[in-house]
Amino acid sequence: MPVKKKKTPAKAKKAAPGKKASAKAVPVKKKSTKPVAAKPILPFSLPKKYTIFIESAAFFPANSADGYADLFQDGRRTVTPGKSLSTAIVLPVGAKLKSISIHYTNSTPNPVLSFFLRKHADRVSPSGEIEMSFINLPPGTLPPDNYLTVTDTSFPNAGVIQNRFLHYLEIPGTGDFGAGGRVTVRGVSLVYTY
């Protein structure tokens, strides 16, 4: 008959000398599920670039008796030839204007000088303070539709929009001159940082 071996009890393990069990339980930190925001490299944020498009429907004659005619994609002109169309330019105070582009048609032989102007909200602005830019709109043709664009980038105060000023764009000389051609405003676009 086979002989069975007796099982010997397992020896108790001794704790390593010199290490004592801690009396305090260390709390386990839970991991946050919120993403950790990266620290910016620069101590300030860089301004963002914005573009605004203003359609020709925002342009109105300086004198209501001059009237206006909408020509859909060709833009807007005054009914009385040679008169002005204007629109407000709304930008936040502190913004820096980078460019203003006028979209137009001009099939006449003459250039049109447009004005980007401002006036103070509380007082009369002396000459030299109201002019932001003079923008020449030369005649021309550009197939297929003769739509032209002129962009200006030169403004006083480095283009910074100052507090208490009201800005607007005036384009004189619009209208239908018959065989002499036609000047229309298609709109304006502005690029600024803020």
Q: Is residue 178 part of a domain?
A: yes
CATH value at residue 182: 2.60.120.260
Q: Is residue 110 part of a domain?
A: yes
pLDDT tier, 116 (very low <50, low <70, confident <90, very high otherwise): very high
Residues 6+ apart with CB under 8 A from 73: 145, 186
HEC readout, the chain: CCCCCCCCCCCCCCCCCCCCCCCCCCCCCCCCCCCCCCCCCCCCCCCCEEEEEEEHHHCEECCHHHCEEECHHHCEEECCCCEEEEEEECCCCCCEEEEEEEEEEECCCCCEEEEEEEEECCCCCCCCCCEEEEEEECCCCCCCCCCEEEEECCCHHHHECCCCEEEEEEEEEEEECHHHCEEEEEEEEEEEEC
**Measured distance CA(138)–CA(146) in Å, rounded:** 12
State whether the Cα torsion 10-16-20-25 is positive or negative. negative
Q: Is the pLDDT of residue 166 over 60?
A: yes
Q: How many domains does the chain have?
A: 1
Tens of pLDDT, residues 55-112:
999 999 989 999 999 999 999 999 999 999 999 999 999 999 999 999 999 999 999 9
pLDDT tier, 126 (very low <50, low <70, confident <90, very high otherwise): confident
User: What is the span of the domain harbouring residue 179?
Assistant: 50-193
Q: Is residue 35 part of a domain?
A: no
Q: Is residue 5 part of a domain?
A: no
Q: Is residue 100 part of a domain?
A: yes
pLDDT of residue 45: 81
Mean of pLDDT values over 127-152? 93
Q: Is residue 96 part of a domain?
A: yes
pLDDT of residue 46: 86
Q: Following CA atoms 93, 128, 134, 183 in sequence, which dihedral angle do they give, to the nearest 10 degrees?
A: 100
pLDDT of residue 128: 74
Q: Is residue 3 part of a domain?
A: no
Extract the tokens encoding 188. 């304006």
pLDDT tier, 127 (very low <50, low <70, confident <90, very high otherwise): confident
Q: Is residue 87 part of a domain?
A: yes
